[in-house]
Chain A
Amino acid sequence: MAAKEHVQDPAEAALLQRTPAVIAPGHTFESVTDSIAGVVLTKRTTLGWFFGFALAFSLLMLLNLTIGKLLMEGIGIWGNNVPVGWAFDIINFVWWIGIGHAGTLISAILLLFRQQWRTSINRFAEAMTLFAVACAAMFPLLHTGRPWLAVYWLFPYPNSMGLWPQFRSPLIWDVFAVSTYGTVSALFWFTGLVPDMATLRDKATSPVAKRIFGMVALGWRGSARHWQRYEMAYLLLAGISTPLVLSVHSVVSFDFAVSVLPGWHATIFPPYFVAGAIYSGFAMVMTLAIPLRKFYGLEDFITMRHIHNMTKVMLATGMIVAYGYANEAFFAWYSANPYEGYMMLNRMTGPYAFFYWSLIAINAAMIQLFWFRSVRDNIPLLFVLSLLVNVGMWLERFIIIVTSLHRDFLPSSWDMYAPTRWDFAMFAGTIGLFFSLFFLFVRFVPAIAIFEMRTIVPEAKLKEHHG
């Protein structure tokens, strides 16, 4: 009956013909709820989960070790030097922050644009954002080598020195941008969780689970008043976090744009960074979504429709990024500024040229593949490509930071940078942190918003049609 009604709906039918649906046909409230909540409640924890978590956790331990050594000996354990004062530390910071972006974009902007396809991916995209920001936030503090100072001197408070931070410094803007971003994303994520937590509370069998989910659900009963207020709050949060999507990475880009360094001192940085952020963010969502839907059999909810859309977003933002590269080169030539010119030349032909060209190969050339439907349909290939995009975006930050610093104005101070084992350990460690958190997340929290999925199953449509 439901199915019949559904098929007769002309709009839906038309939609079906053009693109795959955002949810496989034949699903009902129950089926949705069961199959998603089941991941958390009923399904037994797979061996794969344990294996993956163990791997991630061991990397997390490596992070602890590195941080310990860092605090004891100072950042001299890294490869940083003069002139290359920033390297892996800030590269990783920008990279992680960038990854964080997709989450907010999906949850906030797509929500405001009433993009139904967001619903099945927003939950774990937001989670990803949180974890990425957590990883990112670590670097600005640790890269001083003496975080116990940075922590309380960067925040303005009336201290016994009668001193305030230097509000003209982009690093201070970072502090606010990143902390705000972290807070809002957390709120948004949690608010989204509340109804599902209630669902879990009600479906859970063990009293302990009931109590725990119960507490987190904050006494949600799903009454009309709850729903009405909830929708309003969620919408407001979306409104608040929308500007953040643009602001955060713009501010991060100011760290470079505000300086005088050729290769940093460029007005295109904010848009170019934001685009890059969304680009890498979606790449990471993809990297996570593809295995997720596979292992937990969520193909019905994370459908080809989502994959296609994400690929298209990546294509679009990727093109903007590529345009950014072109611009940098053009400015370097058009400004006729010898330092700018040399900077570009050095990127293309200097000692780090290999990385520059691999970056171009990935972010400018490779993404052109996304034009082809055949590629967009090829899941394994997409997985590889999205991984490569993450690599490419990391390289972009490496190029921007290292090649600009290592040869700037006075040839006398030129030098080379090379990372040490501890640089890599730190990077790997944050990846470990990220995945440890993510594994815990998919295990203990519904990775897809159940209640929102309910709104897009045909039954919901049916209800709407029949008033």
Chain B
Amino acid sequence: MNQSNDIEALRARLDGTRGREYWRSLEAVAETPEFKEFLHREFPSNASEWLDPVGRRSFLKLMGASLSLAGVSACTRQPIEEIVPYVRQPEELVPGKPLFYATAMPFAGSALGLLVESHEGRPTKIEGNPDHPSSRGATDIYAQAAILGLYDPDRSQTTTNLGEIKPFSAFVEAARAVVSGQGSKQGGGLRILSETVASPTLAAQIEALLKRFPAAKWVQWEPVGRHNAREGSRLAFGEYVEPQYAIEKADVILSLDSDFMCAGPAGVRHSRAFASRRRAETGTARNRLYAVESTPTNTGTRADHRLPLKPSEIDGFARALAAQLGVEGVTAGTVSDAARKWLGPLAKDLQGARGRGVVIVGEGQPAAVHAIGHAINAALGNVGETVTYTQTPEAAPSDQRAGLRELVGEMNAGKVDFLLVLGGNPVYTAPSDLQFGAALHKVKLRAHVGLYEDETAALCQWHIPEAHFLEMWGDARSDDGTVTIVQPLIAPLYNGKSLVEVMAAFSEAGARAGYDLVREHWAAQTGLSTEAVAPAPAPQPAATAPGAPAAPAGVAAAPSQPLSPFDREWRRWLHDGLVPNTAFAPKPVTLQAGFAKAAAPAGQGLEVVFRPDPSVYDGRFANNGWLQELPKALTKLTWDNAALIAPATADRLGLFKGEADEAFASKAPVVELKKGDRTLRVPVWLVPGQAPDTLTLHLGYGRERAGRTGTGTGFNVNVLRTWDSQDVVNGVELVATGDTYQLASTQDHWSLEGRNLVRVATAAEFAADPGFADKRELVADRALTMYKSDWKYEGYAWGMAIDQNVCNGCNACVVACQAENNVPVVGKSQVLNGREMHWLRVDRYFTGELDNPDTYHQPMPCQQCEGAPCEVVCPVAATTHSDEGLNDMVYNRCVGTRYCSNNCPYKVRRFNFLLYQDFDTPSLKLMRNPDVTVRSRGVMEKCTYCVQRINQARVTAKLDDRQIRDGEVVTACQAACPTDAIVFGNINDPESRVAKLKKSPLNYALLAELNTRPRTTYMAVVRNPNVELEPPSASHAEGEEGH
């Protein structure tokens, strides 16, 4: 697709309109054919169906939809509907009541324990598994979005050979032919390329195959794996180990370019651990976080001290610090003055907290820095306290980068007869200089197993649709080693095969059901007998709540029968969602000499950092509309990636003319990045706090075969990513092209305008003035009100408290809300016009100086005001107040005057300007939450505190004659939150956690001066700075600004 031409055309238009600065928006050109064309190129059919859904829907149908929403009061008849009971209803399944099954999401060589809600056999919502150490009930955005991934209509649906549809059995035969063919040469031509494998069963299968064919090879490749960490541990200890951080025990934490709160599934665990020492309830036991990083991370935004350093400087900083702390074998490197100021106080602080501190090094840092990090922890006596070392969750740790290069070499040399790509998309993700795609052509027979017919599938003769993890039997290890049996929530929608099943095709035994394979593996592991008195039961995933094991909907329940010893265990594992006592035991490690020899290459010129995208990761989620439209924590960009750059650097390079505010609005200049003969055209985006002369590029965009939603979004930065510079590229040349590119950001304005919205104090200031948070400069005396007596809330009064101390902007709540409440995806052009539909947004504000600001995240659901401005202005009473203090929204009553949205000071109401919901795609119908109305066009919608969950709890409580217990109603955002920042409950109950929080001195209401009396209140931020680095006078609490 020749996008450049489109951009040319678009730019021509934009130049034409430049004179009219006052329409500072796209609409001036949005209607032009060039732009339409351009957009459609960017978001092919499916996306553009979302953008402009009415294109293919008829007038009458729309009228029909709206009228039926209008209700039967008009002369519209209910359509005839059918009701289809089971033939044999599974026991345990009560129609109308969801079941919850425990499983796990395998992800990048690790896993996250989950509980999945299933309505009559349709998984509709994912929660964390409270019993699982990796989750403790929380999730990350990827787990939340997995539901959409499961029902994605673009997933590959059939086994194909050279594009021809074939049965899986055909592949099995082909596989067996290959295997027998390899017999003679010990499998010398047999290669398996997988992602990092954390599934014991799969690993065992592959090992078995390698045993049969000693000459065969197995290569693992993660584009953003923990390569440096692994090599670092080998440098330091001579073996691959996984550091396990006990962050909750740490008083002083130093993050060296590490986003430990949001990187990978471990982030969930770490976020919670960090928050446990940071929340409003914590009191004075606050920890202190130092972050030294080249690009702002969610972790960095919660740091008490943040030092932006170029990637190349961090190695020097680490060495200097180590030297300062007297770590042997490390000589101080060169450090900038800003950094030098840090060393003393930081070292002192760390030493002061011997055994109660921890240094965490980021994946992007070279192995040596990781080793130094380990050394520092050892020197400070943190090992065994806040850090322990265990074996790695991945079954076969290896130097993946070397492995991949070697494989490509063999492929080019024609040594590879058969390459089996087990998941992953190496053609897209492999470093560009390896030319993986070209090398692939030199392989005689190539098979690809994956969720999508992606770039790699296109170059392989065989493609086998992979089963989504919600469709398959399998197992996975989480970071701490805990094993979870992955059980299916639904039979494969597109008859996909799990990797385990595919591998079985190559075993002697031949193709088998995943269920049997996994069971056998674990039976063997436990050595328990599977010999039941009766024949082994049919596959029976076990329901976790409510109550005992149950068959999945649609599958006939096996009559209860005596269980074998193994099955008794097995059922418990499935029910609990984990295999007990599989967490790794700490293993002793000894520091090797010379771990710090390899110094990082000195940086010169512009340094470019590669990071996985905060939303679509390495591109595997590119076709997930929820993630594409998810505003990235720090940039608030959607549907695109960009080169992140510090404002100062941008000024120096003469990008962005005009005042800062305009610069933050969405029209971004396009630059050309040159390194040798490699060039990349990409728009730049200002990020305060970015290290000077450092660009950050996010992987995962510019996909060519992602699917109808993901294809063509953003820019493929792999162009610049070569094998020897997968983390950082030095000396990149930047040329401003003068073009501009429209980036869809959901928050153009970044400053607080001196408004007292986020309230901050240092620990010292808080101690001195505990009431700082609730100062109400503008609040009128309630005695002045005309309405002397407020409504009394008997029974429940629902309220929410959001703790800004711990929120790191991970966005899990936003996706959770979208999944729970059937919130539609609107597409880029609608986001550009400020029409995104997220009920819950996370506002991001920068304060302090632009080069290294304080960053605050403010989750913004409906505030459920008691004096709600929206209610009085709705002419049809579509939004009214419930007797429990909820601000109800009745979609079917709404006529769409939008007055409520105008009159909402928090602007949390969202309007269906077009028909955003996709009423046609069958798989998406299965996905929706049956407990929430699916809104049609012309309807206002908003957060309801998950009233469907409240009602469910109320009914349950009434059915067994009791009150709703505290913590019984958990909103979707609260459930997902890894930091437990969102607390919901009954504020009429003084014992409830939320009521206690609202009594905290840190509690304050946003815009209290408007007398809206919101039910959602916020906990002011208390920072815990090191006085030596930040003398009290220099502190900046927001309250001081502007008033």
Are chains A and B native binding partners rather than an unrelated pairing?
yes
In the complex, identify which listed stretch (B21-29, B329-337, B923-931) lies at the interface while the others stay far away: B21-29
Interface pair A171/B778, CB less than 8 Å apart: no
Main DSSP-derived SS at the B contact region: loop
Known A145-B937, A148-B67, A171-B897: A411·B755 in contact at CB below 8 Å: yes
Q: Of all chain A residues, which has the CB nearest B1012?
A: A260
Taking a contact as CB atoms under 8 Å apart, the answer to whether B877 and A163 are in contact is yes
Partner of A259, one of B21, B873, B911: B873
Contact with A along B738-764 (1 / 0, CB 8 A): 000000000111111111010000000
Looking at the assembled complex, report how far the CB atom of A143 sits from the nearest CB atom of chain B, in whole angstroms.
7
B897 adjacent to A258 (CB under 8 Å): no
Contact B902 A420, beta carbon cutoff 8 Å: no
**Which B residues touch A441, using CB under 8 A?**
none
Interface string of B873-890 (1 = CB under 8 A from A): 111110000000000000
CB of B54 closer than 8 Å to a CB of A:
yes
Q: Is the CB of B896 within 8 A of A144?
A: yes
Residue of A nearest to B747 (CB): A412
* Residue on B nearest A419 in the bound complex, by CB: B27
With A85-B899, A169-B875 known as contacts, the answer to whether A411 contacts B749 (CB < 8 A) is yes
Within 8 A of B (CB), among A116-168: 140, 143-146, 148-150, 152-154, 159-161, 163-166, 168
CA of A417 to CA of B913, assembled, Å: 14
Q: Which of A72, A74, A338, A405 has the most CB of B within 10 A?
A: A74
Give the docked Cα–Cα distance between A84 and B833 (Å): 10
Interface residues of A in 295-315 (CB under 8 A from B): none
The answer to whether A74 touches B937, judged by C-beta atoms less than 8 angstroms apart, is yes
Contact of A169 among B844, B873, B910, B911 (CB under 8 A): B873
Q: Mark B828-843, 1 if CB is under 8 A from A, else 0.
A: 0010011100000101
Report A-chain residues with C-beta under 8 Å of the C-beta of B27. Answer: 79, 418-420
- Nearest-CB residue, chain B, relative to A86: B902
User: Which residue of B63, B871, B913, B1010 contacts A81 across the interface (Cβ within 8 Å)?
Assistant: B913
Separation in Å of the A172 CB from the closest CB of chain B?
A: 5
| Whole-angstrom distance between the Cβ of A164 and the nearest chain B Cβ | 7
Selected interface stretch from A48-56, A100-108, A351-359: A351-359
The yes or no answer to A47 lying at the interface (CB within 8 A) is no
Report the minimum CB–CB distance from A270 to chain B (whole Å): 17
Q: Which size class do B's interface residues fall under?
A: 35 or more
In chain B between 21 and 47, which residues have their CB closer than 8 angstroms to a CB of chain A? 21-28, 30-31
A316 near B: Cβ within 8 Å?
A: no
Inter-chain contact B858/A146, CB cutoff 8 Å: no
How far apart sit A128 and B665, CA to CA, in the bound complex (Å)? 44
Within 8 Å of chain B (Cβ to Cβ): is A91? no
Bound CA–CA A115/B869 (angstroms) = 45
Instruction: Tally chain A residues at the interface, Cβ within 8 Å.
Output: 67
Contact of B858 among A353, A355, A412 (CB under 8 A): A412
- 0/1 per residue, B645-673, Cβ < 8 Å to A? 00000000000000000000100000000
The stretch of B68-76, B105-113, B368-376 in contact with A is B68-76
Contact in complex: A258, B873 (CB < 8 Å): yes
Q: How far is the CB of A372 from chain B (nearest CB, A)?
A: 33
C-alpha spacing A81/B914, complex, angstroms? 11
> With an 8 A cutoff between CB atoms, is B909 at the interface?
yes
Knowing A149-B66, A165-B876, A414-B749, the reply to whether A74 touches B914 (Cβ < 8 A) is yes
Q: How far is the CB of A148 from chain B (nearest CB, A)?
A: 7
B294 to chain A, nearest CB (A): 26
Cβ distance B305 to chain A, nearest Cβ, rounded Å: 26
Q: Is the CB of B877 within 8 A of A165?
A: yes
Residues of A within 8 A of B755 (CB): 338, 409, 411
The reply on A408 being an interface residue by CB < 8 A is yes
Q: How far is the CA of A165 from the CA of B834 in the complex (A)?
A: 30
- Cβ A75 vs Cβ B938 within 8 A: yes
B869 x A73 contact (CB < 8 A): no
B919 is an interface residue with CB less than 8 A from chain A: no
Residue B249 is within 8 A (CB to CB) of chain A in the complex: no
Select one of A75, A261, A355, A419 contacting B903, CB under 8 A: A261
- Asked whether A85 lies within 8 Å of B905 as measured between CB atoms, the reply is no
Within the assembled complex, what's the spacing in Å between the Cα atoms of A148 and B73?
13
Cβ contacts under 8 Å, A430 to chain B: none
Q: Which B residues touch A255, using CB under 8 A?
A: 899
In the complex the two chains form, what is the Cα distance from A32 to B1043 in whole Å?
A: 70
Cβ contact within 8 Å between B833 and A144: no
Q: Are B74 and A260 in contact (CB under 8 A)?
A: no
Residue of A nearest to B28 (CB): A418
Query: Nearest Cβ distance between residue A15 and chain B, in whole angstroms?
Result: 50
A164 and B834 contacting across the interface, CB-CB below 8 Å: no
Interface string of B430-466 (1 = CB under 8 A from A): 0000000000000000000000000000000000000
Is A416 in the interface zone, CB < 8 Å from B?
yes
Bound Cα distance from A168 to B300, whole angstroms: 48
Q: Which of A150, A342, A420 is within 8 Å of B895, CB to CB?
A: A150
Min C-beta distance of A136 to chain B, whole Å: 16
Closest to A72 in B: B59
A411 to chain B, nearest CB (A): 4
Expressed in whole angstroms, the minimum distance between the Cβ of A150 and any Cβ of chain B is: 5
In the bound complex, CA of A164 to CA of B858 (Å): 38
Contacts of A76 in B (CB 8 A): 830, 835, 913-914
Q: In the complex, A292→B841 CA distance in Å?
A: 57
Tell me the chain B residues, 774-808 only, with Cβ under 8 Å from chain A. Answer: 778
Residue of A nearest to B894 (CB): A149
Contacts of A414 in B (CB 8 A): 748-749
Q: Assuming A153-B876, A171-B897, A410-B843, is B59 touching A79 (CB within 8 A)?
A: no
Instruction: List chain A residues, Cβ under 8 A from B752.
Output: 411
Interface string of B49-67 (1 = CB under 8 A from A): 0001010000100110011
CA distance A74 to B750 in the complex (A): 31
Using A144-B897, A144-B938, A160-B72 as known contacts, say yes or no to A409 and B905 having CB atoms under 8 A apart. yes
How far is it, in angstroms, between the C-alpha of A361 and the C-alpha of B622 when the chains are bound? 52
From B72, B778, B938, A74 is in contact (CB under 8 Å) with B938
Closest partner residue, chain B, to A153 (CB atom): B876
B902 adjacent to A85 (CB under 8 Å): yes
Chain B residues lying within 8 Å of A146, measured Cβ to Cβ, are 66, 70, 895-896, 937-938
Given contacts A76-B835, A409-B1007, contact A168 B872 (CB under 8 A): yes
Who on chain B is nearest to A83 by CB?
B907
Tell me the minimal C-beta distance from B527 to chain A in angstroms.
58
A81/B902 contact (C-beta < 8 A), A169-B872, A342-B753, A354-B22 known? no
A146 to B894 alpha-carbon distance, docked (Å):
10
> Is A421 positioned at the interface, with any CB of B under 8 Å from its CB?
yes
Pick from B59, B67, B830, B905: contact of A260, CB below 8 A: B905
* Closest beta carbon of chain A to B75's beta carbon, Å: 10
CA distance A416 to B665 in the complex (A): 10
Q: Which residue of A lies closest to B912 (CB)?
A: A74
B877 near A166: Cβ-Cβ < 8 Å: yes
**A82 at interface by CB-CB < 8 Å:** yes
* B1010 neighbours in A (Cβ, 8 Å): 260, 409
The answer on a CB contact under 8 Å between B23 and A418 is yes
Q: CA of A411 to CA of B25 in the docked complex: distance in angstroms?
A: 17
Q: Are A72 and B835 within 8 A (Cβ)?
A: no
Interface membership of A348, Cβ < 8 A:
no
The contact sample of 24 A-B pairs, CB cut-off 8 A, is: A75-B938, A76-B830, A76-B913, A80-B898, A80-B913, A145-B937, A146-B938, A148-B63, A148-B67, A161-B71, A165-B877, A175-B875, A259-B873, A261-B902, A338-B1042, A351-B21, A409-B905, A410-B843, A410-B905, A410-B907, A411-B749, A412-B749, A418-B23, A420-B30
Beyond known contacts A412-B841, A419-B27: 14 more, CB 8 A cutoff: A72-B59, A83-B901, A83-B902, A85-B898, A85-B902, A148-B67, A150-B897, A255-B899, A338-B1042, A342-B753, A351-B22, A410-B905, A411-B752, A418-B25
Residues of A within 8 A of B (CB): 71-76, 79-86, 140, 143-146, 148-150, 152-154, 159-161, 163-166, 168-172, 175, 255, 258-261, 337-338, 342, 351-355, 405, 407-421
In order of increasing CB-CB distance, the 9 nearest A-B pairs are: A76-B913, A85-B898, A76-B914, A418-B27, A413-B907, A412-B843, A81-B834, A171-B875, A166-B877
